[in-house]
Structure 1
Amino acid sequence: MQARNLLTTAMRHHQTGQLGNAEQGYRAVLAIEPRNVDALHLLGVVAHQRGHNDAALDLIGRAIGQNGRVAAFHHNLGNVLGQLGRQADAVAAYRQAIRLQPEHVEAHASLAGLLVQQGEAQEALAAIDRALALRPLDAGKHVNRGNILHALGRSDAAIAAYRRAIELEPALAAAHNNLGLALIAREEVEAALPCYRRAITLKPDYVEAYVHLGNALQDLGQSGDAAAAYRQALVLQPDRADARLALAMTAIPIMPATPEAAAGTPHAFAAALDALATHPQGLSAAAGRSQPFYLAYRPVDVTADLCRYGDLVATPQPVPDREARTGRLRLLIVSAHVRDHPVWRVNLQGLLTHLDRSRFDVAVFHTGARTDEHTAWAAANVDTFVGGERNVAAWRAKIVEYRPDIILYPEVGMDPVTGALASQRLAAVQAAGWGHPITTGLPTIDLFFSGEALEGPDADRHYRERLVRLPRTGVSIEWTAEGGEPWQGPERAADVVRFALCQQPIKFDPADDALLTRIAKGSGACEFWLVMPNRQQWAGKQLVARLRDRFAEAGLDPDRYIKVASWMTSRRFNGFLDAMDVYLDCPAFSGFTTALQAVQRGLPIVTLEGRFLRQRMAAGLLRDIGMLDGITETPDAYVERAVAWANHARDTAGWSRSRDLLRDAASRAMGDPEPMLRLQDALIAAAG
């Protein structure tokens, strides 16, 4: 009777959150009845709640040893095992709880949460649906269902689940926060802002919502407001490493308004790194969540700053021992872009096509949520393919399980998961490709694969990695732009020359705006056609406004010169290129995929070849196909070439013949396996 009374009192303390009193009570029970399974189990739960998971595992395990038929024991054991990183054992524990009690709602829900972390989102959806069948009015379970649908890339269904949760429980802050995340996945960034703000109103100490609000504001180019959101997150949780890292990235404006703001960005980022360095704890755990992606768009040497960033976020780990192998090397390719995407079209598809399977066991880990027929092709043409959205820890576990000799990242810097994985040492040899054309800055990446046609003579100093210059552009291109549909643009006035400015707005550096006004003044009747982006449309609007101001300041009528086309499908974009006369490449950050489309449509390119890989992409492509006339080396030459070609374009027949020659030359960019064969040799040599 005494033990029972003590247990009842301890449970009452436990239910009201008085963990210290509850622990004392459970221990008092065990002092009287050492084998009391309820006291053992609940003392284990208290240990788990306090973060003492090893002790919790022992206590709950002892309870199960005495009575293994209680579903709650196995459910809580699963919670502990999950915290200890023993996910397979945790899944087994949840399944045992369900076998013992098929209507155990929380076991179904916990199983669903763990399965989605492991990338088994479809099975997780079935588990959460079973939980909701048992408890259909549980708003929290609808949030969980939304999370799983979000992981499956089913944004519309996820949004419906979150809205159902809000309908059931309007004050559930997590539902509003996660609704914002689902809207972000659908690229409705502005619509996400009120969701995060509502979550914060409901739960003023909601650190996650402040971080997500900051991320959305940063994506909208509102760096000052983003910084304020991150700072508030840090007021609430000073050790929040991802907020500190994100705050540092607000020093890099996505669309600087003036040449001075653009030129000052590297200095501002260097100061932000100084601040990070004073409190580096936890940054490696936050690696990938905020990356200095936009720093690459400033046309100066930022190698030292990227290396400092790399040192702050990289996880210090020893190089894994190389296993003695008599057969094929295990090559792992990790990318979020195994789908119709520029990284796939240019950097990855040709590699998978030409890899020598007698030399390599090839695995592809697709870390992105989006899939299409290209994903299916990749899965069918490698030895091992793993897809499905997972967290970083789950992907790391998959990599460790595969035991690669070599990891190749086609790009580093564009995706949070690959950015986090690349900052860790998970194979003896780790390499990056030029999908993001700048050094990773990471001490964990050994090789950087580029192309002879893309790099200048002093390029080695721009990389932390060992630069490997592969033949030509360093890639084997298998992708050909599909046919075109006639562009439904306005009728062209007589003698008007159309210049295509069809790259992402972030590539246009304010310092280069004056080049366009000079070209306009020298070219006579002409139009500059910009294509608005599908996402970050605000950036396109800012670019148009900025250029209109520059043209007006130069005494040129913006309405006459600045023209805007909406975002369009690939086939319609090809028709747009057909309707243009001259393609003007961005001097600060050159294009490759768009330039490839242009030459395939026979559209002549004027490019200003700079010092860095990211300023030499179109020039490298033109060198590769032997069409050098569009490559210039100074701003004055860039303007002169554009003006000269505008005059030539008015000779319709002659310009048409020039376009035919360029279109024929474009075929020389296609399908050469030599760069991939040399890449294989470099990997084998590096693997020893």
Structure 2
Amino acid sequence: AVAYDNMRNAYIYQGKLEEAVLCCEKSLSIRHDPGIEVRKVMMIPVIYESGEQILHYREKIVTELESLKAKGIRLHDPNAQVGSTNFYLAYHGMNDRELQQKIASFYIQVCPELAWTPNKERKARKPGDKINIGVVSMHLYNMSQQTIGKLNRGIIRNLSREKFHVRLFRFTGGETHLIKAIAEGADEVIDLPSELKPAREMIAAYDTDILFYPDIGMDSLTYFLAFSRLAPVQCMTWGHPVTTGIPNMDYFISSQDLELPGAEDHYSERLVRLSRLGVYYYPPELPDTKPSREKFAFPEDCNLYACPHAPFKFHPDFDLALAAILRSDPKALLILIEGGTFKHWAELLLKRFSKTFPEAIDRVRFMPAMPTKDFMSLMATADVLLEPPYFGGGNTTYEALACGVPFVTWPGPFMRGRVTFALYRQMGVLDCVANNPQSYIEIAIRLANDKAWREEVRAKIRANSHLIFEDIEAVRELERFFESAVRQHER
């Protein structure tokens, strides 16, 4: 059964869903574990063929979870038994609140102990006491995935030490320069065990006033930790930019430019709209060499359109815009990134493209994942960068704008598709912001073909990019929110 479980996990990450389901069935035939039944229900494709297929799998999750509830299954440790989150739902381009709440409600019903509250009396805060803030994250200290660390390092380091005591709750792994810098920026670092119950008991042993989760949904352990009431105030932000549906998560920290009117309906948490992005991002180290097409074996006589995002961000709706660009610009070469995990995702995406725009498929080129400086050099080499709708860039946009390279963005209804727009707003540079699919296509084609305008836009970005880096006012605004949330709880 263990061998089938390992094979199942490998197939899931490769996007080979049918093979993963078969492994679940084989495993269940050897050892019945309700966790495997749940994992089977929650498995969905990484790359979709159509919007209809997305709807099918979302409906399938709801129907099959109801069936499991009707069977009366019970879980004693969802992290150990299921060991996954509903990570890929956020890439469907839909309001996930209702579905996330149904999933969270299911877990509470089949494992009531998830909503655990420690049986201890907290010390009352005295006037003038520092606010104890605990940061709980797996990916803040990830050796290979550094986005969460880059987005949050400056917040941890620059929170006022006159007002706050900053404690990091982390799960041990290796160490990089970034991981070391994050730890050095805190007042205290607590290494947690990798099991759910001991980890939550250790967190609860500290009198923490606020628990801050940067990235709920990216790993199963912090997702299931968030079900417990481990601090009077529990909040999250947009490392994984989607609501949790978890009753014990109090606040989702976002910003005004990331949210449209009525966006409260997207969240089970109380939505906090800061006036700035809640990020203190250090300027990245730029590539050592000038952009060079020769370095990447790109032709000199083509227009380079790069969409440097993971394949699972490519919603089927995006294909029409890509097809229109390739058809309208015969010199276009579309550069994509395979993704750091499995090449099979790229193969699935190419298979879909071959149906959407078969006549231009020979002008789509996938590049392997590469070190950060090479990645930034690739972006700087492009004539234009394209951002997928529905779920765009965060860290990638910061790196691109540091290089002075324009990203064409088409901000959508959900915050996960509005980060690049919000950064442009903060810079006061809106030339590359589209308001519909047609304007997205037109801006991209003009950037690629109108060199004078492209250089004008690049100059604007270079002149104003300093406005998005090392934003100390973003830290001060977060501090005011944390203080307000604690005061409100104490009333």
TM over 0.5: yes
Change (3 A) 1:280 1:298: farther
Matched, 1:367 2:171: yes
* Cα distance in structure 2, aligned partners of 1:660 and 1:345: 25
* Cα distance in structure 2, aligned partners of 1:380 and 1:567: 29
Alignment correspondent of 1:514: 320
Matched, 1:447 2:246: no
Match of 1:498 among 283, 289, 304: 304
Matched, 1:274 2:60: no
* Cα distance in structure 2, aligned partners of 1:565 and 1:216: 22
Matched, 1:558 2:361: yes
Matched residue type, 2:227:
S
* Cα distance in structure 1, aligned partners of 2:30 and 2:220: 24
The one-character-per-residue Cα deviations of 1:163-182 (angstroms, maximum 9, x if unpaired) are xxxxxxxxxxxxxxxxxxxx
Residue pair 2:153, 2:185 contacting (<8 A) in 1 also: no
The one-character-per-residue Cα deviations of 1:345-369 (angstroms, maximum 9, x if unpaired) are 11x1121122112222211011252
Task: Please report how far the alpha carbon of residue 214 of structure 1 lies from its aligned counterpart in structure 2 after TM superposition.
Answer: 1.9
Matched, 1:618 2:420: yes
Match of 1:294 among 79, 88, 101: 88
The one-character-per-residue Cα deviations of 1:479-499 (angstroms, maximum 9, x if unpaired) are 4243244441225343x2111
Task: Please report how far the alpha carbon of residue 237 of structure 1 lies from its aligned counterpart in structure 2 after TM superposition.
Answer: 4.1
Change (3 A) 1:408 1:645: same
Matched residue type, 1:505:
P
Match of 1:544 among 346, 350, 370: 350
* Cα distance in structure 2, aligned partners of 1:672 and 1:225: 47
Alignment correspondent of 2:49: 257
Structural mapping, 1:503-652, within 5 Å: 503-552=309-358, 556-559=359-362, 561-648=363-450, 651=451
Match of 2:140 among 338, 363, 369: 338
Structural mapping, 1:158-237, within 5 Å: 206=1, 208-237=2-31
Residue pair 1:211, 1:233 contacting (<8 A) in 2 also: yes
Change (3 A) 1:374 1:388: farther
Residue pair 2:448, 2:454 contacting (<8 A) in 1 also: no
Match of 1:468 among 229, 247, 272: 272
Matched residue type, 1:669:
I
Structural mapping, 1:381-420, within 5 Å: 381-387=185-191, 390-420=194-224
Matched residue type, 2:9:
N
Matched, 1:668 2:467: yes
Matched, 1:683 2:482: yes
Q: How many residues align?
A: 471
Specify the structure having the higher radius of gyration (Cα).
Answer: 1
* Cα distance in structure 1, aligned partners of 2:348 and 2:124: 56
* Cα distance in structure 1, aligned partners of 2:460 and 2:311: 30
The one-character-per-residue Cα deviations of 1:395-451 (angstroms, maximum 9, x if unpaired) are 223212223221111010002221121122211211111100000111111111112
TM-score, scaled to structure 1: 0.65
Matched residue type, 2:38:
L
Alignment correspondent of 2:35: 242
Greater mean deviation of Cα atoms: 604-613 or 517-526: 517-526
Task: Please report how far the alpha carbon of residue 618 of structure 1 lies from its aligned counterpart in structure 2 after TM superposition.
Answer: 1.6
* Cα distance in structure 1, aligned partners of 2:89 and 2:422: 22
Task: Please report how far the alpha carbon of residue 385 of structure 1 lies from its aligned counterpart in structure 2 after TM superposition.
Answer: 0.3
Change (3 A) 1:272 1:631: farther
The one-character-per-residue Cα deviations of 1:173-209 (angstroms, maximum 9, x if unpaired) are xxxxxxxxxxxxxxxxxxxxxxxxxxxxxxxxx3x43
Task: Please report how far the alpha carbon of residue 284 of structure 1 lies from its aligned counterpart in structure 2 after TM superposition.
Answer: 6.5
* Cα distance in structure 1, aligned partners of 2:318 and 2:274: 31
The secondary structure found in structure 1 opposite 2:335 is: strand
Provide the aligned C-alpha RMSD in A: 2.2
Change (3 A) 1:212 1:564: closer
* Cα distance in structure 1, aligned partners of 2:422 and 2:39: 34
Larger helix percent:
1
Residue pair 1:484, 1:574 contacting (<8 A) in 2 also: no
Structural mapping, 1:100-139, within 5 Å: none
Structure 1 vs Structure 2: percent identity of aligned residues? 27
Matched, 1:421 2:221: no
* Cα distance in structure 2, aligned partners of 1:230 and 1:632: 44
Task: Please report how far the alpha carbon of residue 630 of structure 1 lies from its aligned counterpart in structure 2 after TM superposition.
Answer: 1.4
Change (3 A) 1:376 1:389: farther
Change (3 A) 1:263 1:630: farther
The secondary structure found in structure 1 opposite 2:169 is: strand
The secondary structure found in structure 1 opposite 2:77 is: helix
Q: Which runs of 5+ in 2 are unaligned?
A: 109-113
Task: Please report how far the alpha carbon of residue 317 of structure 1 lies from its aligned counterpart in structure 2 after TM superposition.
Answer: 3.4
* Cα distance in structure 2, aligned partners of 1:390 and 1:285: 12
* Cα distance in structure 1, aligned partners of 2:17 and 2:298: 40
Task: Please report how far the alpha carbon of residue 505 of structure 1 lies from its aligned counterpart in structure 2 after TM superposition.
Answer: 0.2
Greater relative CO (CA pairs within 8 A, separation 6+):
2
Residue pair 1:284, 1:312 contacting (<8 A) in 2 also: no
Task: Please report how far the alpha carbon of residue 338 of structure 1 lies from its aligned counterpart in structure 2 after TM superposition.
Answer: 2.8
* Cα distance in structure 2, aligned partners of 1:222 and 1:368: 31
* Cα distance in structure 2, aligned partners of 1:497 and 1:632: 20
* Cα distance in structure 2, aligned partners of 1:544 and 1:282: 41
Task: Please report how far the alpha carbon of residue 538 of structure 1 lies from its aligned counterpart in structure 2 after TM superposition.
Answer: 1.1
The one-character-per-residue Cα deviations of 1:444-483 (angstroms, maximum 9, x if unpaired) are 1111111222111111110000011122222222242432
Matched, 1:655 2:459: no
Change (3 A) 1:305 1:484: farther
Task: Please report how far the alpha carbon of residue 500 of structure 1 lies from its aligned counterpart in structure 2 after TM superposition.
Answer: 0.6
Residue pair 1:332, 1:407 contacting (<8 A) in 2 also: yes
Alignment correspondent of 1:111: none
* Cα distance in structure 2, aligned partners of 1:368 and 1:451: 31
Task: Please report how far the alpha carbon of residue 660 of structure 1 lies from its aligned counterpart in structure 2 after TM superposition.
Answer: 2.3
Task: Please report how far the alpha carbon of residue 530 of structure 1 lies from its aligned counterpart in structure 2 after TM superposition.
Answer: 0.9
The one-character-per-residue Cα deviations of 1:201-247 (angstroms, maximum 9, x if unpaired) are xxxxx3x4333332222112121222222233334444x23212211
The one-character-per-residue Cα deviations of 1:579-607 (angstroms, maximum 9, x if unpaired) are 10111100131111111211111211111
Matched residue type, 2:60:
A
Change (3 A) 1:518 1:676: same
